């Protein structure tokens, strides 16, 4: 498939404590600096899954920007339409995990994403129009995301990113009047923001998903960490347990889930098999200390699903 990814590209700084995480204190930690950004992570995973990806993003003019661009080109990502702002610095995401690798706190400086505006997208509409699928994160302004829904021909896949940014999706769902979002991926907290209510159980999640489907969404995935993923479309609704995993770091797991959902879309998989692909990709990422795992591949996803289903049949 030809895929256009729209969103952030930034530097990730991740700290994992050597011992038990203590809030409001200085925790001796292992610190890593890697390439990140939800849009970039999704694009990176899709490249590893064998897809052709054109990444529409913005880069700063510092040394980190040069490293980010070099890495994108190294993995075969097309960044020929990305914009570069020489007088601005690269965006940053700082992540502090607990002793198990789960997110304890995070902070992002995504000021550069303001340049991903309607003028930038309109300038690249020929690339967007040539795509088989378009995926975006919620770093751009809500009117920019609405523009995509009104002007994009291909199916749209959206990642909520965070609670603070997921409110933009609620705005889009309330105002889009033409194409809309095909697939929406959120975690539970983000889904509560988008739906405007508490999601305490599967019944609540189904009601929220049905409201989103009524607004034009085709597929809803609500990731639940160790509890798996809730999935719903117009034909099915279910909660799929997660796959047994040893956590290296939780950073990037949701990004890889959506990447695998897009991969599954290209294969024509149904909702259940699509969710399995997402869980398998998340497992691969969780077992790595990086936001994108070098072990990500279509072959590994299919192998993990086969092993998972064999184990379930034997139980």
Look-up: residue for tokens 């920019």? 144
Taking every pair of C-alpha atoms in the chain, what is the biggest distance, in angstroms? 59
| Structure tokens belonging to residue 45 | 């995973």
Looking at the chain, the whole-number percentage of residues with pLDDT higher than 90 is 91
pLDDT digits (tens, 9 = 90+) for 147-200: 999 999 999 999 999 999 999 999 999 998 767 899 999 999 999 999 999 999
Task: Give domain limits for the chain.
Answer: 2-314
The structure tokens 């700290």 sit at 15
Distances (CA, A) of 108 to 42, 98, 111, 133, 267: 18, 18, 9, 27, 34
Identify the CATH homologous superfamily for domain 2-314: Ribokinase (3.40.1190.20)
Question: Could you read off the pLDDT of 234-245 as tens digits, one per residue?
Answer: 999 999 999 999
- Please compute the mean of the pLDDT values over residues 215-220 and round it to a whole number: 96
Predicted local confidence at residue 83, as pLDDT: 98
Q: Which residue has 């990444």 as its token pair?
A: 55
The beta strands (E) that lie in the chain are given as 2-6, 10-17, 29-36, 52-56, 58-59, 83-84, 92-97, 103-109, 133-137, 155-159, 183-187, 219-223, 229-232, 237-240
pTM: predicted TM-score of the whole model, two decimal places: 0.94
Residues in the chain: 315
pLDDT at 54: 98
Q: What is the pLDDT of residues 65-98, one digit of tens each?
A: 999 999 999 999 999 999 999 999 999 999 999 9
Average pLDDT, the chain: 95
- Tell me the pLDDT band of 315, cut-offs 50, 70 and 90: low
């Amino acid at each position: 498939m030809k895929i256009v990814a729209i969103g952030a590209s930034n530097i990730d700084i991740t700290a994992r404590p050597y011992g038990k995480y203590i809030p409001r204190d200085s925790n001796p930690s292992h610190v890593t600096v890697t390439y990140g950004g939800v849009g970039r992570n999704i694009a990176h995973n899709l490249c590893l899954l064998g897809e052709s990806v054109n990444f529409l993003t913005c880069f700063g003019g510092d040394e980190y920007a040069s490293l980010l661009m070099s890495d994108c080109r190294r993995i075969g990502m097309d960044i020929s339409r990305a914009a570069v702002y020489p007088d601005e610095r690269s965006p940053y995401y700082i992540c502090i995990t607990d002793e198990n690798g789960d997110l304890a706190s995070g902070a992002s400086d995504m000021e550069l994403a303001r340049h991903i505006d309607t003028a930038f997208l309109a300038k690249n509409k020929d690339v967007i129009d040539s795509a088989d699928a378009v995926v975006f994160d919620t770093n751009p302004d809500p009117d920019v995301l609405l523009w995509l829904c009104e002007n994009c021909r291909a199916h749209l896949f959206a990642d909520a990113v965070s609670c603070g940014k997921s409110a933009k999706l609620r705005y889009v769902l309330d105002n889009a009047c033409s194409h809309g979002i095909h697939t929406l991926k959120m975690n539970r907290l983000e889904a509560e923001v988008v739906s405007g209510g508490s999601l305490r159980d599967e019944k609540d999640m189904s009601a929220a998903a049905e409201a989103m489907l009524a607004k034009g969404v085709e597929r809803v995935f609500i990731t639940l960490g160790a509890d798996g993923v809730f999935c719903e479309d117009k034909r099915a609704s279910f909660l799929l347990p997660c796959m047994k995993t040893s956590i290296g770091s939780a950073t990037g797991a949701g990004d890889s889930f959506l990447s695998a959902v897009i991969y599954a879309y290209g294969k024509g998989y149904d909702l259940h098999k699509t969710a399995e692909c997402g869980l398998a990709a998340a497992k691969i990422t969780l077992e790595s200390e990086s936001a994108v795992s070098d072990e990500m591949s279509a072959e590994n996803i299919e192998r993990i699903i086969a092993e998972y289903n064999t184990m379930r049949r034997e139980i």
